[in-house]
Amino acid sequence: MNSACRSSMRYAATTFTAISTLVLILAVSQAQQRKLPPDYEKKREAISNFEVGVVPLFILGDLNEDGVVDQEDLKLLRAYVAQKSSAAISCMAAGDLDENHTLDNKDIEVLEQILKRGKVTAPALSSRSRLGCDYKNFFIAARPQAPAGGTVPIHFLDPRFNSQNSSVTISSGQATVSKERDTFMVHVAGSAPGNSTVTVAVNLPGPRKYFYTFRVSPAPGTR
């Protein structure tokens, strides 16, 4: 076989590999797009127009993002810890209940305790998605923290919810709440100590209730 023929075959093989890789990338991209909810990009765009630092919240314990925390989530968590099987888990971060950046038996114990009385009626919301989350069912966005004297805006991403049919109240911590159009503003007290927390209750029509806890960031130069 002459050099020209060999060069031609190498070129054909390289071209075939490049085309195959491109087809695979496009297929993966299309598959990922199919998994996203139809309003995903619209919600992400809305968040980009909110205040700096606002992020989507997910439901702690809701590993499959079906909107509830129940035995199905516990089954998925047990399967992952035992076999490292992430099948049907779309929000790994939701399973990190002790916030140690991994899913383990401690998280199983926490979720078992939570579910002792059955399905959770008022689950917690979180912004700490260190382990990743697909956000298939996100409907609220907020800041993850604020300094003393600062604010945490709470925005609704679902058109079914607004400041007229929903409410946000302080459950614990030094803060107050005001309403500004379709946004609730949580005002952290100027006297709130750094690293303390504020918990708000979010009541939605349905009725649906959630709790969101955020940290009061310490003043610059302190820990």
Task: Tell me if residue 171 falls in helix, strand or coil.
Answer: strand
Residues of the chain where predicted confidence (pLDDT) is lower than 70: 1-35, 221-223
Q: Could you give all domains of the chain from N- to C-terminal order, each with its CATH number?
A: 39-54+138-223 (2.60.40.3440), 58-121 (1.10.1330.10)
User: Residue 223's pLDDT is what?
Assistant: 58
User: Residue 180's pLDDT is what?
Assistant: 92
Query: Which residues pair with residue 187 across a beta bridge?
Result: 151, 176
Helix, strand counts (H, E) of the chain: 4, 11
User: 0.95 exceeded by the pTM?
Assistant: no
100-153: per-residue pLDDT in tens?
A: 999 999 999 999 999 998 889 999 999 998 899 999 989 999 999 999 999 999
Q: Provide the token pair at 70.
A: 């129940």
- The 10 Å CB-count burial string (b at 16+, else e) for 79-89 is bbbeeeeeeeb
Reference 124, options 59, 66, 72; nearest CA is 59
